[in-house]
Chains A and B, each alone.
Chain A
Amino acid sequence: MAVTKRRESHPGEPYGLSDVDLIEMYRLVALARAVDERMWILNRAGRIPFVISGQGHEGAQVGIAWPLRRGHDWIAPFYRSIATCLTFGMSPRDIMTAQYATAADPSSGGRQMPGHYGSPAHNIVSVSSPVATQLLHAVGIALAAKIRRTGQVALTTMGEGSSNQGDVHEGLNFAAIHKLPFVFVVENNGYAISVPAAMQLSVADVADRAAGYGIPGVVVDGADVLACYAASRDAVARARAGDGPTLIEAKVTRLTAHSSDDQQTKYRSAEELVAERGHDALPRFREELREAGVLTDETEARLAAEIKAAVDDATEYAETQPDPDPATATRYVYAETSEGSGASAPSEASR
């Protein structure tokens, strides 16, 4: 009989999460951070031209994506959604080939800037740069799920800056009217590039706005992975039961500048940046799991080695992948095989 170590507590138990679940969730948070940190190193080393980061959002992203059914439900993410995409099935290689914009980049084949992830294989909708447009796509996916009775839930996520766009109002209103299986996540890191929340929002919490649509608005600590999980689990259950959308606002932090082209010390004080480190889900989740005896020295060492190997592998893989062939740059403006009779006459293909 195996000897079990005396356990202080079982942090997953109230949530129905096993230790295996918790360790995997922790691995994803740590993996997303490691991939992200590598991106910055590669940028500063001149290997990749641009980085847009998810550091400070990872705990919320993993906790919120966890209750969704991979390969069945849908996510319309945004440019900070590295941990979301990893949780939903994309690999470190998938993320890293996007940074290098190689032909093997599954998000866009090197056509889009890094951070514009997408994967049909994992029901992750392609990201664009105009913000908040993806909310309507997720609402449409949820509408199709309802009409086709697929049982799918669609979740979209964006920053609080994006949440001010008109598409958010139009989409939440429609999703609420039709009780669509939809979850709206706001990852509130307090800044829209340089503009602080106080100048973006007339209310304390984006979640306050949910009342205007007659839907629940939940504020959750984005550094508390399990609280994020619980909020998402409830919202997903509500959506799947036909009770309509939920707005989840996760209060996260932005540990990096907006992007590699931004200098955040121009608009954030040194004291603030130090304080933000205290609101990071990664060390907090690690301590929580260590104190509970879920994460042992041995497990942590194994995970660290695995993560380093995965990031090294992804970097080396992406480094060696070829650029897209310019001869392919005219492909996929339109479908290349016609469905039905709507085909274009071949002679006009270039027009």
Chain B
Amino acid sequence: MASKTFIDAIRETLADEMRRDPSVIVLGEDVGKKGGVFLATDGLWAEFGEDRVIDTPLTESMIVGTSIGAAVNGLRPVCEIQFADFIFPAFNQIVSEAARMRYRSNNGYGVPMTIRAPYGGGVHGALYHSQSVEAFFTHVPGLKVVVPSTPYDAKGLLRSSIRDPDPVIFFEHKKMYRSVRGDVPDTDYTVPLGRAAITHPGTQLTVVAYGLMAHYALEAADRVAEEGISVEVVDLRTLRPLDTETLLDSVRKTGKCLIVYEDNRFGGYGAEVAAIVAEEAFDYLDGPITRVAGPDVPGVPYNHVLEEWFMVNPEKIADGIRALAAY
């Protein structure tokens, strides 16, 4: 089994799916000859041609809105928003149109479309190349939201997303593109949407995380293990639909729940996780549900000292674990 980078897994999956299914097309800014600003689509234009790998103008609403139409007329578009920070011009098309098309047409129309978007900070991207925007979309029924953390999951989940009959937003933490490696089989496996993974079994405390934070949670779990704290890490992988079963099973076992996310703390995705745990596992809790999350400032600042201040890291998570474990 080959070890691959996160971005290699994504690029290979796009190529595999385009070979497997002629209805799959890729469109976005610089996705063609250049192969994307992160090279996630490198080689696709050469192999599949300009009909199926389309360099678009700088028009995010058009990228998504046109993908909706193409999906309605028999294609499976995989569109790229160059940075998740730039997804907002397409918000209306995603939320008012893609998410609601099946419901409002009483199952008359569906939108089998995948929107890929690099997100996250820690890469000197400042306010507009660092954002975590998942909470805006996990709020919306009709959308599926996926945030993989390993090359294996990236491949299996991207396959499932492209093959899914409904719109999927697929967030890729850009810091992981080349810093995360992992084993990826050459088989046509899939990872189903809506299934979390226990990536570190433990007994005393559950840490819930996704994306880059799922890695940091593992590092933190290793650190506190030396101090005798046994942590179970739940990597959600899909934020919507949420695998409440795996989440609640873990919390009922450990009795404590810490949620980690990089986005601003207030109203972030972890707030919903906390509410579900409070509603459905209250009797099992031995401490408050707590969060380690990004501070409530409007963006990740550029200066490296300020950026480090903003970013959640393994030590901040370990501190959160220690505080909750001591409760």
Interface residues of A (CB under 8 A from B): 74, 76, 105-109, 111-112, 116, 118-120, 125-126, 128-130, 133, 135-148, 150, 152, 154, 166-167, 170-171, 173-174, 177, 331-336, 338-345, 347-349, 351
Complex Cα gap A78–B103 (Å): 18
Query: CB-nearest residue of chain B relative to A109?
Result: B106
* Whole-angstrom distance between the Cβ of A326 and the nearest chain B Cβ: 14
Cβ contact of A133, chosen from B25, B92, B107, B168, cutoff 8 A: B92
In contact, B244 and A137 (Cβ under 8 angstroms): no
**With A137-B65, A342-B160 as given contacts, are A351 and B244 in contact (CB-CB < 8 Å)?**
yes
In contact, A137 and B97 (Cβ under 8 angstroms): yes
In contact, B97 and A342 (Cβ under 8 angstroms): no
> Could you say which residues of chain A place their CB within 8 Å of the CB of B67?
140
Mark the stretch among B174-182, B186-194, B203-211, B214-222 that contacts chain A: B186-194
In contact, A140 and B194 (Cβ under 8 angstroms): no
In contact, A118 and B62 (Cβ under 8 angstroms): no
> Could you say which residues of chain A place their CB within 8 Å of the CB of B23?
148
Query: CB-nearest residue of chain A relative to B25?
Result: A147
Q: Report, nearest first, the 6 A-B pairs whose CB atoms are least far apart.
A: A140-B69, A136-B65, A342-B164, A340-B163, A109-B106, A348-B241
Q: A140-B67, A148-B75, A334-B144 are in contact. List 19 more A-B contacts (CB 8 A).
A: A74-B73, A126-B105, A128-B97, A136-B68, A141-B69, A143-B69, A144-B74, A147-B70, A154-B73, A166-B89, A167-B62, A170-B62, A333-B103, A335-B107, A339-B163, A342-B163, A342-B168, A345-B194, A351-B240
In contact, A170 and B73 (Cβ under 8 angstroms): no
**With A119-B108, A344-B241 as given contacts, are A174 and B69 in contact (CB-CB < 8 Å)?**
no
> Could you say which residues of chain B place their CB within 8 Å of the CB of A129?
96
Cβ contact of A128, chosen from B75, B100, B244, cutoff 8 A: B100
In contact, A130 and B96 (Cβ under 8 angstroms): yes
In contact, B25 and A345 (Cβ under 8 angstroms): no
> Could you say which residues of chain A place their CB within 8 Å of the CB of B96?
128-130, 133
B142 is an interface residue with CB less than 8 A from chain A: yes
In contact, B106 and A152 (Cβ under 8 angstroms): no
In contact, A342 and B161 (Cβ under 8 angstroms): yes
Complex Cα gap A325–B165 (Å): 25
Q: Mark B124-168, 1 if CB is under 8 A from A, else 0.
A: 000000000000000001101000000000000001111111101
Interface-central residue, B62, B68, B242, by most chain A CB under 10 Å: B62
Complex Cα gap A219–B32 (Å): 37
In contact, A177 and B57 (Cβ under 8 angstroms): yes
B243 is an interface residue with CB less than 8 A from chain A: yes
In contact, A137 and B104 (Cβ under 8 angstroms): no
* Whole-angstrom distance between the Cβ of A115 and the nearest chain B Cβ: 13
A-B contacts, 18 listed (Cβ < 8 Å): A105-B106, A111-B103, A126-B101, A128-B97, A137-B72, A140-B68, A140-B69, A140-B70, A143-B66, A144-B70, A147-B52, A170-B57, A177-B57, A332-B102, A332-B106, A335-B110, A342-B162, A349-B241
In contact, B73 and A144 (Cβ under 8 angstroms): yes
In contact, B193 and A343 (Cβ under 8 angstroms): yes
In contact, A144 and B69 (Cβ under 8 angstroms): yes
**With A108-B104, A332-B106 as given contacts, are A145 and B194 in contact (CB-CB < 8 Å)?**
no
B54-112 at interface with A (beta carbon < 8 Å): 56-57, 59, 61-62, 64-75, 77, 89, 92-93, 96-97, 100-110, 112
Cβ contact of A116, chosen from B104, B160, B168, cutoff 8 A: B104
In contact, B104 and A133 (Cβ under 8 angstroms): no
B245 is an interface residue with CB less than 8 A from chain A: yes
In contact, A148 and B57 (Cβ under 8 angstroms): no
In contact, A166 and B241 (Cβ under 8 angstroms): no
> Could you say which residues of chain A place their CB within 8 Å of the CB of B73?
74, 140-141, 144-145, 148, 150, 152, 154
In contact, B104 and A111 (Cβ under 8 angstroms): yes
In contact, B245 and A347 (Cβ under 8 angstroms): yes
B226 is an interface residue with CB less than 8 A from chain A: no
In contact, B70 and A334 (Cβ under 8 angstroms): no
**With A125-B72, A147-B25, A332-B107 as given contacts, are A140 and B65 in contact (CB-CB < 8 Å)?**
yes
Interface-central residue, B103, B105, B168, by most chain A CB under 10 Å: B105
In contact, B69 and A138 (Cβ under 8 angstroms): yes
Query: CB-nearest residue of chain A relative to B168?
Result: A342
> Could you say which residues of chain B place their CB within 8 Å of the CB of A335?
102, 107, 110, 165-166
> Could you say which residues of chain B place their CB within 8 Å of the CB of A154?
69, 73
Complex Cα gap A173–B66 (Å): 12
> Could you say which residues of chain B place their CB within 8 Å of the CB of A139?
62, 65-66, 69
> Could you say which residues of chain B place their CB within 8 Å of the CB of A120?
105, 108-109
B195 is an interface residue with CB less than 8 A from chain A: yes
